[in-house]
Chains A and B, each alone.
Chain A
Amino acid sequence: MSERDAEPDAGPDPAAEYALGVMDGAERRAVERRMRQDGPFAARVAWWQERLAPLNSQIAPENPPAEVWQRVEADLDRIARVRDGARDQRIESLARAARRGVSPIWRTLAVASSLLAVASLGAIAILAPGPADNPAAIGNETLTARLTSDTGQTLFTVVLDLQARTATLVPVSTIDDGSRVPELWLLPPGGAAPRSLGLLSEGRPLRLVLQGVSDETAGSSLAISLEPQGGSPTGAPTGPVVATGALDRI
């Protein structure tokens, strides 16, 4: 009996197979979700990554064109604007938009979103005004804007229909936080229980009717939290709040 015949048949080893790079995209996402939830498994992936990494020394280096660094710098500038300098410009540009009829709900949500964030998601913010990033007018009654993470990833496209007084949040990319999904909440004033406005997930646009908010609701806040698939099991936010914003009278 040869040595190889004596070996037991090897079963799957997702940690090794992930590190080796033989998985398809869906399998890779599943492994990454498991890594976030299963510390010992994540350690096994890291073990394999470190053990295989010396193979990289056999790949010949290649100088990238200089413009790649310039593009990195442009991204860093954009991140810095979102983080530090953009708030005032943003308020100003949104105030201009508001004078054209944009609802305060949008203004406050956007501004507050950039201020409160968890590390896993990064700051959500509207990008600073720029040729491509400005809320763009489509005709007279529709405005669009992008909600972007601090790594430049567009999370939601927001379409404001001024005539119908609706804001539609269209998820662009999945928020990469394991199996959790963002859920939008209305937080009534005075500490009453939050009310779910729906999940911002699975590629489905979420439409908010702005005119449905009564005087009573003025003073409420909006919040986005990360919840298990299907939404909060308890009917109240259970995960980290990644964005909040005050809801003014509309």
Chain B
Amino acid sequence: MRRGAPKTADDRREMLVQRMRDVADGDRAALHEVYEMTSAKLFGICLRILQDRPEAEDVLQDIFVTVWARASDFDASRASPITWLSTIARNRAIDRLRQIGRRGEADWGDAPEMVAETPDALGQLEDEEDRQRLAACLDDLDERAREAIRSAFFGGMTYQELASRGEMPLGTIKSIIRRGLMRLKGCLSQ
């Protein structure tokens, strides 16, 4: 019989799944627990995309109100809870970014806050196998495609923004990314 904070990644994941079910049943304390477990991760995602703390805070608030209203849509047999939550966070942050436009020259470049290899504790809730497979498939791409795909994902940048930043024609960046995605799809489908 295990009591207290779950120790392993599997335990934490199972606890998060259970709390999501409780949230779907209208359990507010469970939502607070989900918030405690995931808000730093989701805020990091919003901040990375929006590069603006007040905007990221607004989006985070919106995310958890959405989670409260839509927790019953979460299906643990189809996605991990952190994937589901991260996807909502990314989509909301990108939508907000498209709405407000990008303010000034954000630091899209080297992303110093990114750690290359070691996933954080919550990242370990992801399937380690999936993570390694994605890393291997990204490594398989040529560098231009890999960097373009990473910039797009982490910065929520449009083709147009990627083209301006890379000082290349729109058609070129589209071609690089679409080829990269096609290769990635093939690799990830194996």
Contact = CB atoms under 8 A, between A and B. Distances in A.
Contacts of B182: 7, 10, 13
Interface string B32-69: 10010001110111011100000011001100111011
B83 A72 contact: no
Nearest to B130: A54
B119 A57 contact: yes
A177 to B, nearest CB: 14
A69 B35 contact: yes
Nearest to B114: A58
B90 interface: yes
Interface in A3-38: 4, 7, 9-13, 16-17, 20-25, 28
Interface stretch (A45-53, A102-110, A214-222): A45-53
B116 to A, nearest CB: 7
Interface in A193-218: none
A59 B158 contact: no
A151 B66 contact: yes
Contact of B60 (A9, A61, A68): A68
A239 interface: no
A76 interface: yes
Contacts of B160: 24
A163 interface: no
B49 to A, nearest CB: 8
A151 B95 contact: no
Contacts of A61: 40-41, 43-44, 120, 122
Contact of A58 (B116, B157, B185): B116
Contacts of B149: 20
Given A20-B177, A23-B158, A122-B69, A46 B113 contact: no
14 contacts: A17-B178, A20-B152, A28-B95, A46-B78, A54-B130, A54-B131, A56-B90, A57-B123, A59-B41, A64-B57, A65-B57, A67-B57, A72-B68, A79-B69
Interface of A: 4, 7, 9-13, 16-17, 20-25, 28, 46, 49-65, 67-69, 71-72, 75-76, 79, 122, 150-152
Interface of B: 28, 31-32, 35, 39-41, 43-45, 47-49, 56-57, 60-61, 64-66, 68-69, 78-80, 82-83, 86-87, 90, 94-95, 98-99, 113-116, 119-120, 122-124, 126-127, 130-131, 134-135, 142, 149-150, 152-154, 156-160, 162, 175, 177-179, 181-185, 188
